[in-house]
Amino acid sequence: MKIGIIGLSNSGKTTVFNALTGQNIETTVYPTTSGEPNIAVVKVPDSRLDRLSAVYKPKKTTYAAVEYIDYIGLTKGDMNQNRKVFDLIKDVDAIAHVVRAFEDDAVVHPMNTVNPLRDIETVELELIFGDLEFVEKRLHRMEEAIKKGKKPDEAEKRLLLRCKDSLEKGIPLRYVGFNEEEQRAMRPLQFVSTKPEVVVLNIGEGDLNTERALKLQEDAERYFLKFSSDPLHPRDKVVTLCGKVEMEIAQLSPDEAKPFLDDLGIEEPALSRFIHACYDILGLISFFTYVGDEVRAWSIPKGTQALKAAGKVHSDIERGFIRAEVVSFSDFVKAGSMRVAKEKGLLRLEGKTYEVKDGDIVNFRFHV
Ligand SMILES: Nc1nc2c(ncn2[C@@H]2O[C@H](COP(=O)(O)OP(=O)(O)O)[C@@H](O)[C@H]2O)c(=O)[nH]1
Ligand SMILES: [Mg+2]
């Protein structure tokens, strides 16, 4: 999974990048407009996998991985600058949109005042303008080709016009209910407002667990609610955190971090809270395998059937699929071991069309 971090300059993107990756990249009080992107791959924390690993004591424990990309800020009305960011993030799975909510006179705000809702709208509009420019260019090229006698791709034209209509109304494309075929057609096109988005409200140290932070979170949620048509498939999620504090915590080992988190009233560090939000908006779940002395977590879309999940592990397993032996994570914990789970009849035999559930521990039976 790949996640692009965007936002205005000095909103705290690099700080949040550090908080999510445990890196220590320099942050500055001046807006950064050049330089190389920061990229890091980190494991997706999962306490269930930790538990499995503690029970099986395998040689190897493999977490799901997520790649974070942090680059320069978006600037209101500067499409040349913004295009550089859009080009970099066009293939990410989701966007982390960092919004400055912390007050600090030493840190310049590119629009002079701290106003999170205005900044959210500014960035959303830049995404929309970027996509609109792209759609118009593409439609223009199509018209040119028609003039030269080429037959237009009517389906693509209809799709582009639909995108244009939504963008002109100020609605990011992630909220347009495209059908599966349309989604497939959209994938190679380089839209950015299609990406599911986690909005990170970067609050000040003093605002943790305050009414003010709570209200801000609600205001931000309400802002996106006006677009959202389908509550079952949310396309956005708002996460409130203090980047500066979380960055410091991310430098510590989990044992060292615990007292700080408790003291600050933070239940779960940013990196795991954030990744859960990403799984939610991407509709992803995890299942686990224990094969060849390796315990491993796999991410799949909700609703994936056993046969497809098997293919994720190995194409041979999909091809030679016989059945899946499945224990839910909670049953496994109740039983304490796979042997007891079996004895208690908690191990189920499932076929190809079984819908794998979040937390399932799966052993695929197959022959090649
Ligand atoms: N007080 C405070 N300062 C922060 C916070 N997050 C970021 N900053 C500061 O804001 C400045 C810009 O942060 P940076 O991550 O470089 O912003 P970027 O331009 O979006 O990458 C740095 O001086 C950070 O230390 C925060 O939560 N509280
Ligand atoms: Mg930065």
Q: Where are the domains of the chain?
A: 2-282, 303-366
Q: What is the pLDDT of residues 137-153, one digit of tens each?
A: 999 999 999 999 988 88
Angle CA 251–218–285, to nearest 5:
60
Q: What is the pLDDT of residues 286-341, one digit of tens each?
A: 999 999 899 999 999 999 999 999 999 999 999 999 999 999 999 999 999 889 99
What does the block give as tokens for 183?
Answer: 């989604």
Closest atom of ligand 1 relative to the 26 alpha carbon: 16
Q: What residues have a C-beta under 5 A from ligand 2, the ion?
A: 13-14, 32
Q: Tell me, using a 6 A CB cutoff, whether residue 104 lines ligand 1.
A: yes
Top-confidence residue, 35 or 196: 196
Which CATH class, in words, describes the domain spanning 303-366?
alpha beta
Average confidence (pLDDT) over 157-178: 95
- Ramachandran category for residue 237: left, alpha or beta (phi over 0 → left; psi -120 to 50 → alpha): beta
Tell me the one-letter amino acid at 52.
L
Computed on alpha carbons and rounded to an integer, the radius of gyration of the chain in Å comes to 23
Range 102-119 average pLDDT? 96
- Contact of 244 with 205, CB cutoff 8 Å: yes
**The ligand 1 atom nearest the CA atom of 9:** 19
Q: Which ligand is nearest to the CA of 101?
A: 1
Residues 151-161 pLDDT 10s: 888 989 999 99
Please report the pLDDT score of residue 142 as a whole number.
92
d(CA 60, CA 64): 13
Q: Ligand 1 within 6 A of 8 CB?
A: no
Task: Tell which atom from ligand 1 comes closest to the C-alpha of 16.
Answer: 15
Is 16 a residue whose pLDDT tops 90?
A: yes
Task: Single out the residue of 52, 13, 125, 23 nearest to residue 360, CA to CA.
Answer: 52
346 versus 183: the higher-pLDDT residue is 346
Site to substitute for ligand 1 among 104, 111, 202, 247, most atoms within 8 A of C-beta:
104
What is the whole-number distance in angstroms between the Cα of residue 364 and the centre of ligand 2?
Answer: 44
| CB 102 less than 6 A from any atom of ligand 1 | yes
Segment 184-193 mean pLDDT: 90
pLDDT at 230 > cutoff 80: no
Q: Is 107 in the pocket of ligand 1 (CB under 6 A)?
A: yes
Please state whether 170 falls in left (phi above 0), alpha (psi between -120 and 50) or beta. left
Ligand lying closest to the C-alpha of residue 119: 1
Burial 195-226 (b: 16+ CB within 10 A, else e): bbbbbbbbbbeebeeeeebeebbeebeebbee
Query: Is 297's C-beta closer than 6 angstroms to any atom of ligand 1?
Result: no
Per DSSP, helices labelled H in the chain are 13-21, 47-56, 79-89, 116-147, 154-168, 180-186, 211-225, 243-250, 254-264, 270-282, 306-313, 315-319, 329-335, 338-343
Q: Label residue 130 exposed, middle or buried (CB < 10 Å: 0-12, 13-18, 19+).
A: buried
The closest ligand to the CA of 26 turns out to be 1
pLDDT bracket for residue 264 (50, 70, 90): confident
Nearest residue (by CA) to ligand 1, atom 7, is 12
Class of domain 2-282: alpha beta
> How many Å lie between the centroid of ligand 2 and the Cα of residue 214?
26
Dist. CA 289 → ligand 1 center (Å): 40
What six digits make up the tokens of 171? 């609605």
Separation of CA 75 and ligand 1 centre (Å): 17
State the distance from the centre of ligand 2 to the C-alpha of 71, rounded, in angstroms. 6
**Is the pLDDT reported for residue 232 higher than 80?**
no
The tally of CA atoms less than 13 A away on the side-chain side of residue 201 is: 25
pLDDT of amino acid 229: 64
Q: Find the 349 Cα to ligand 1 centroid distance in Å.
A: 52
Which helix (H) or strand (E) covers residue 6, if one does? Answer: strand 2-7
100 lines ligand 1 (CB under 6 A): no
Ligand nearest to the Cα of 27, by number: 1
Q: Per DSSP, what are the bridge partners of residue 288?
A: 297, 361
pLDDT at 266: 87
The atom of ligand 1 lying closest to the CA of 245 is: 27
Q: 30 pLDDT exceeds 80?
A: no
Q: What is the pLDDT of residue 340?
A: 94
| Per-residue pLDDT tens over the stretch 55-99 | 999 999 999 999 999 999 999 999 999 999 999 999 999 999 999
Q: Identify the pLDDT of residue 26.
A: 87
Q: In the chain, what percentage of residues exceed pLDDT 90?
A: 82
